[in-house]
Chains A and B, each alone.
Chain A
Amino acid sequence: MTRWTTTELMACVIARDLVDGEVVVMGAVPALPMAACLLARATHAPNLDFIVGGSGTVSPAPDRLPASSCTGELAPAEVTLPLPDVVSLEGRGDAFDVFCAGGLQIDAHGNCNLVAVGDWERPKLRGPGTVGLPFLPNTKRSIIYTQSHTPRTFVERVDFVSGPGHPSGPDEARPYRKQGPSLVVTPLASFDFDETGRMRLRTVHPGVTVDEVLAATGFEPAPGPDPSTTPEPTEEELAILRDLDRDGVLRR
């Protein structure tokens, strides 16, 4: 047993990646990215702002981490944007810095699939739908997180691109840009992307081996420096997280 849970560690990994002054957007089931943003604000990024899903709330500081992205529990917020304005700004493309996203499938180039596993017309698994993920490329970068790291969720190529990652083949004319996914956080490890836009193992979490991560990953990550061990949550980080998370959402 560790002093912390894997989800708390994931919140720390995302928080440490956020930069002071950035504006972050997130979608449904916001507890984890919200905890990361609030942790970053309480530590190194006091001027970070974040928008919680369909609520349009900007940097809410509720008593506890909410389960839903559209709840009245998202108060007090600094201010609230009407949802159509959030959508407009996502399209405008220069208002938001970081998009926190996930998927039923995530592929080697950071494409996300929230729509359908298998054939789109008669899927093996129908997902909820893509919501705002087509806007991923309109932020400076995206952070992908998932609670499921298996060969079925981490695939070479998603069955359906609902959230664009980095271009992956000669048939895609879009030149590689700095924009796109920059960090992937799972219960086992964290990844970044090499200069070709392919996912690369960056750190493995304490107690997890590189072989376990590779066995859970349905593609071969790009070669890179030897992965290090993800730094554990500090006492300060844990104290802040637990003060935010009075219901223990991150400790389940």
Chain B
Amino acid sequence: MRPRFVDADEAVTSVEPDSTLGVGGMQLTAAPMALVRALVRRRTRIGRLVTSPSASLQADLPIAAGLVDELVSPYVGFEHLGLAPAFRRAVEGGSLRVLEIDEGSLTHALHAGASGIPFVPCPPGIDLTDIPRVDPTLFRRVVDPFDGTERWAVPAIRPDTVFVAAAVADEHGNVAFDRFPFTDRTMALAARRLLVEVEEVVPAGSLADRPPGTTLPAFLVDAIVVAPGGCLPTEYPGRYGRDDETLRAYLAAAKTGDPDAVAPFLEEARR
């Protein structure tokens, strides 16, 4: 099957309310904001939001809109611009349940989800922290059948839907990332349904020379949204920079705690 080319509002109609949604993009780069904004405009409730190892607006905006029940994320913040206001408020106020996880366990859990592996024992380090001890949903003890030692393990993560932002799609719906695929390919491979927003469409055949590891074949993609500037106000490397002015305006609006204050940030950004 080849993906359908649709607009963002149509693409997100396939997201089931209260299901698990994975969102790609790292820190202030390549957040799939065209899809996230469309989902928040539709006011679809997200049962469990799974992010990449470090999220910013793609997590804080749906939380600000009051649409997220549970969060699986190693980091929600805005780097040099400060903490994530809606995330902070929701956790401190008890309205958002956080399933604590770290970058390593999350990445391995997504890889397991992508691979049909039911759970993964964690590499050392996590055992010396409080992360696995506060909630048994994502961390359980297992005995290594080879050497008998006890270790922490995390279950495979397979989001019902995943949103990622890539650079281009060809006319058949094959997708290519530019310089940094981050963990977005791993998350995409773990998806039950994969929605990809891209900056532009290129002729069929023109992705042939892209290195493997930076592409996804069309048969894994359910829908493609062509959204130039869709990641704004986050950056898409090589295409446009981060818009700190808009990000600062968002942070100020989200700090008020008024869901209406963030409404202007649900409109599509203009390049």
**Contacts from A to B (Cβ < 8 Å):** 28-29, 31, 53-56, 67-73, 80, 82-84, 87, 90-93, 114-116, 120-138, 160-164, 174
Contacts and interface: CB of A to CB of B under 8 A. Distances in A.
A134 B88 contact: no
21 contacts: A53-B27, A54-B26, A54-B53, A54-B54, A68-B28, A70-B30, A71-B235, A72-B180, A83-B183, A84-B183, A87-B104, A91-B123, A91-B125, A92-B123, A93-B123, A115-B100, A123-B92, A125-B88, A126-B87, A137-B125, A164-B128
Given A136-B125, A137-B128, A164-B125, 12 more contacts: A53-B27, A55-B180, A72-B180, A83-B53, A87-B103, A90-B104, A91-B108, A128-B77, A129-B73, A132-B104, A134-B129, A174-B128
B131 A134 contact: yes
Interface of A, secondary structure class, is loop
Interface in B209-261: 213, 235, 237-238, 241-242, 244
B64 to A, nearest CB: 14
A115 B125 CA distance: 16
A223 to B, nearest CB: 26
A131 B52 CA distance: 10
A131 B75 contact: yes
A122 B251 CA distance: 22
Contacts of A127: 83
Contacts of A138: 123-125
A72 B108 CA distance: 25
A162 B129 contact: yes
Contacts of B213: 82
A166 B10 CA distance: 53
Contacts of A72: 29, 179-180, 235, 237-238, 241
Contacts of A56: 180
A84 B107 contact: yes
B84 A128 contact: yes
Interface of B: 26-30, 52-54, 73-77, 79-80, 83-84, 87-88, 91-92, 94, 100, 102-104, 107-108, 111, 122-126, 128-131, 134, 179-183, 186, 213, 235, 237-238, 241-242, 244
Contacts of A82: 181, 213
Contacts of B26: 54-55, 70, 83
A200 B26 CA distance: 36
A123 B83 CA distance: 14
Contacts of B180: 55-56, 70, 72, 80, 83
A162 B131 contact: yes
A70 B128 contact: no
Contact of B74 (A31, A131, A164): A131
Contacts of A128: 75-77, 83-84, 87
Contacts of B100: 115, 120, 129-130
Nearest to A116: B91
Contacts of B27: 28, 53-54, 68-70
B237 to A, nearest CB: 3
